[in-house]
């Protein structure tokens, strides 16, 4: 069993997963968090399944070596194609944003007409429709890959004319299907929420899995008996594989503060290790 004061590991292909980390900090202020953003190799959504699995296993091992007590896969592309590989490596609870978002969408839709936007890898996996149908079998689901959103968010172009035109192009086919619920199937996308809401209109509910994930994490921590009850102030660490232009500015939007203590990790340092040999408290 892990030490209750051990951190929660959160990882993503870039900075989008900071939306999940931000929700966790609000819902579980007593918990420490170790965040890993693979900013040198983003975006994942246009890469092959084999490559995504390889990267996911490397990052999982990296975080397990930092004695995390729970893993949260904040990257929809990794959750879509590598969740079983991640669970096989981790002796501790593994949560993913796809299940959290699917459950919330099934609860919120009134007409059963649900749209899903995500990276090509996420959309092609069919993971979201499968997960939503497991909660509500009679939903009519329409999907749209949006490969340009991640680089636009990473660039910080959250309300740029190019982003607006791109969003209009992506969303029009879904609006023609008269969806009443739109799942933001990538953790980068909540940073575009004001723009997306403006385009789809108030009649369409946007599903951001970050808040749902925070609630699920709280439930699992309590059920597993690993909630942090230590009075010591939590310690947060943020690792990235590159520090791109505007990373701190984008992270401020996701977390509500600028991260001053980013730690740069070389790609060679996250090579897959034998997690069975990792010592943990």
Residue 62 lies in a domain: yes
The residue count for the chain: 281
pTM to 2 decimals?
Answer: 0.84
pLDDT in tens, 177-189: 999 999 999 888 9
CATH number, residue 73:
3.40.50.1860
| Alpha carbons 185 and 208: distance in angstroms, whole number | 8
Check whether residue 162 and residue 249 sit in a common domain: no
Check whether residue 182 and residue 253 sit in a common domain: no
**What's residue 118's pLDDT?**
93
Domain span including residue 60: 8-96+211-272
**What's residue 45's pLDDT?**
85
- Asked if 81 and 52 count as a contact pair (C-beta separation under 8 A), the reply is yes
Domain count, the chain: 2
Active site residues: 75, 186
Check whether residue 116 and residue 184 sit in a common domain: yes
Q: What would you report as the CA-atom Rg of the chain, rounded to the nearest whole angstrom?
A: 18
| Alpha carbons 201 and 199: distance in angstroms, whole number | 6
Give the end of a domain, one of 208, 231, 262: 208
Q: In what order do the strands lie in the sheet with 181-185?
A: 140-145, 113-118, 181-185, 205-207
Give the end of a domain, one of 188, 208, 228: 208
Give the end of a domain, one of 208, 233, 251: 208
Check whether residue 73 and residue 111 sit in a common domain: no
**What's residue 280's pLDDT?**
44
**What sections of the chain are H helices per DSSP?**
18-27, 49-64, 76-89, 97-108, 120-125, 127-135, 149-155, 161-175, 193-200, 209-224, 247-255
**What's residue 272's pLDDT?**
52
Check whether residue 24 and residue 86 sit in a common domain: yes
Low-confidence ranges of the chain (pLDDT < 70): 1, 245-246, 271-281
**What's residue 279's pLDDT?**
43
- Residue 160, both tokens: 């740029």
């Amino acid at each position: 069993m892990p030490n209750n004061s051990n951190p929660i590991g959160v990882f993503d292909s870039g900075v989008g997963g900071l939306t999940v980390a931000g929700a966790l900090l609000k819902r579980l202020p007593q918990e420490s968090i170790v965040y890993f953003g693979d900013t040198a190799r983003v975006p994942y959504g246009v890469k092959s399944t084999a490559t995504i699995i390889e990267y996911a296993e490397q990052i999982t091992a990296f975080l397990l070596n930092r004695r995390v007590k729970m893993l949260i896969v904040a990257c929809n592309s990794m959750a879509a194609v590598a969740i079983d590989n991640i669970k096989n490596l981790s002796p501790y609870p593994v949560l993913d944003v796809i299940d959290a978002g699917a459950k919330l969408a099934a609860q919120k839709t009134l007409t059963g007409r649900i749209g899903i936007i995500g990276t090509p890898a996420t959309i092609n996996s069919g993971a979201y429709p499968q997960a939503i149908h497991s909660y509500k079998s009679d939903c009519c689901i329409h999907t749209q890959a949006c490969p340009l959103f991640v680089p636009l968010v990473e660039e910080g172009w959250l309300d740029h004319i190019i982003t607006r035109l791109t969003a209009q192009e992506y969303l029009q086919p879904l609006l023609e299907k008269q969806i009443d619920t739109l799942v933001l199937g990538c953790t980068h996308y909540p940073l575009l929420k004001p723009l997306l809401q403006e385009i789809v209109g108030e009649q369409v509910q946007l599903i951001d899995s970050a808040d749902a994930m925070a609630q699920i994490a709280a439930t699992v921590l309590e059920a597993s008996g690993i909630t942090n009850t230590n009075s010591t102030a939590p310690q947060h660490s943020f690792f990235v594989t590159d520090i791109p232009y505007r990373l701190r500015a984008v992270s401020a939007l996701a977390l509500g503060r600028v991260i001053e203590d980013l730690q740069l990790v070389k790609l060679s340092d996250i090579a897959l290790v034998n997690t069975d040999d990792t010592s943990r408290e």
